[in-house]
Homo-oligomer: A and B are copies of this chain.
Amino acid sequence: MKVPAHARAHKRQELSVLTRHLRGQSRKITGPRQAILEILRRHPHPMTNREIFAAMPKGRCDLATIYRAMHLLEEMGMVKRFDFGDGAARFELVGEGDDGHHHHLICTRCAGVVEIDECFLREIESRIAARNRFKAVTHKLEFFGICPACQR
């Protein structure tokens, strides 16, 4: 099966990003880390560590390795952690030059996910920070409901 040129380009670029981020921290570019980014790039929605593990070709690495890798990638700002409230962390690839902040609309029946790209709270957030004299205020927000397919 042939890989299209643009996909190869994607991959090359992403690898270079990984390399750049790892340099200067004496971190290594390893198979598991590349595989994880590869998998995340193909997925439009946040994935659990287990899902990443399952998507990995033939037990390519241990689940513990994925947990450790996600911490590293999160620290480097290459992935963003989301919490859908079901007890399992989810991760999504962050675009270059983006901070990854956004929200989701999640179907409570089928677990389907809709990406909500705008954030409506930037303004409100600073008002709340000022009013309570908090610094470095952020927020976590997710929407839940019943999707069209699950309504009937």
User: Which chain A residues have a beta carbon within 8 Å of chain B's beta carbons?
Assistant: 83, 85, 87, 105, 107, 114, 116, 120-121, 124-125, 128-129, 132-148, 151
- A140 and B138 within 8 A (CB): no
| Residues in B neighbouring A133, C-beta threshold 8 A | 147-148
- B132 and A137 within 8 A (CB): no
| Residues in B neighbouring A143, C-beta threshold 8 A | 125, 128, 134, 137-139
What separation, in Å, do the CA atoms of A151 and B125 have in the docked complex?
Answer: 18
| Residues in B neighbouring A83, C-beta threshold 8 A | 83, 85
- B138 and A141 within 8 A (CB): no
- B141 and A129 within 8 A (CB): no
| Residues in B neighbouring A146, C-beta threshold 8 A | 134-136
| Residues in B neighbouring A147, C-beta threshold 8 A | 132-134
- B120 and A105 within 8 A (CB): no
